[in-house]
Structure 1
């Protein structure tokens, strides 16, 4: 499965926000500069996280983005699905029933074994992402990381 580069961006940005003091906001421009990313495109991705209830946004001179819930309540799956959707990446088109190699209809009553295996893999991937929260990720960072992040990223309250 290949995800868009924007998925990496929002995962890192959400992890960064999880390292800040609760209620602290950071602008899209600040995050873009922090990671050397294109600000307008990053802002669109962050808005997708707002629509999904992962982030909250405020406007005005002290506005920006912040986590909408505690980091322990935000799973990696919620972030990924906010920007990439929840649909399975594999769609069986029943090619086993086409062409000169077509199987008889009676041999195709059950779902294709390949479709089942791909669905199992997608379910396992989703379970793995659903099992980890931003708090888990922050807890696995080097102990100095949150303080370093706070010192390098101007914060607004």
Structure 2
């Protein structure tokens, strides 16, 4: 199975947003610049994340993105489904009923065993992704960091974080 580049970009962007101060926002341009990716391509995925409620968007010239939920409430599966869609990776076309001298459909009363095996694998894959939250990734990153990752993140935030306007 191959996931699109947008999945990696979305996971990294959500993880970066998880480190924002409570009133902080990052523009799509800043997120793309931090990761060295195309802003226009990343915007497509940020829009999908926004539609899924994973990120919130504040419009306007001083707007940007922030998490729509707590990091502990966002799983890798949530992000993959937002970017790639909910369809399974394998989609059976029942080709066993086509081709050379095909048998009639009533000859195939049991589900295709290939499809059944692929769907079992898909369920296992999704279970694994659902078991990992952004909070888990942040914890693992913090434990593995010698301080250089945190220093880079703080320097980036100092330069690029926008503050959400508070309501009177």
TM-score, normalised by the number of residues in structure 1: 0.90
Partner in structure 2 of residue 38 of structure 1? 38
Give the whole-Å Cα distance in 2 for the aligned partners of 1:108 and 1:146.
58
Which stretch has the larger CA shift, 38-47 or 126-135? 38-47
Partner in structure 1 of residue 28 of structure 2? 28
Partner in structure 2 of residue 150 of structure 1? 154
Q: CA deviation at 1:44?
A: 1.9
**Cα distance per residue 1:83-123 (max 9 Å; x no partner):** 11011111112222222374565652111110001001111
Partner in structure 2 of residue 64 of structure 1? 64
Q: Describe the shift of the 1:31–1:147 C-alpha distance in structure 2 as closer, same or farther (beyond 3 A).
A: same
Aligned residue-pair number: 157
Which stretch has the larger CA shift, 16-25 or 114-123? 16-25
Which stretch has the larger CA shift, 145-154 or 54-63? 145-154
Give the whole-Å Cα distance in 1 for the aligned partners of 2:19 and 2:131.
19
Q: Describe the shift of the 1:19–1:147 C-alpha distance in structure 2 as closer, same or farther (beyond 3 A).
A: farther
Q: CA deviation at 1:61?
A: 3.5
Which stretch has the larger CA shift, 118-127 or 100-109? 100-109
Give the whole-Å Cα distance in 2 for the aligned partners of 1:36 and 1:18.
19
Unaligned stretches of 5+ in structure 1?
none
Local SS of the residue matching 1:7: helix
Unaligned stretches of 5+ in structure 2?
164-168
Which stretch has the larger CA shift, 77-86 or 89-98? 89-98
Which stretch has the larger CA shift, 76-85 or 36-45? 36-45
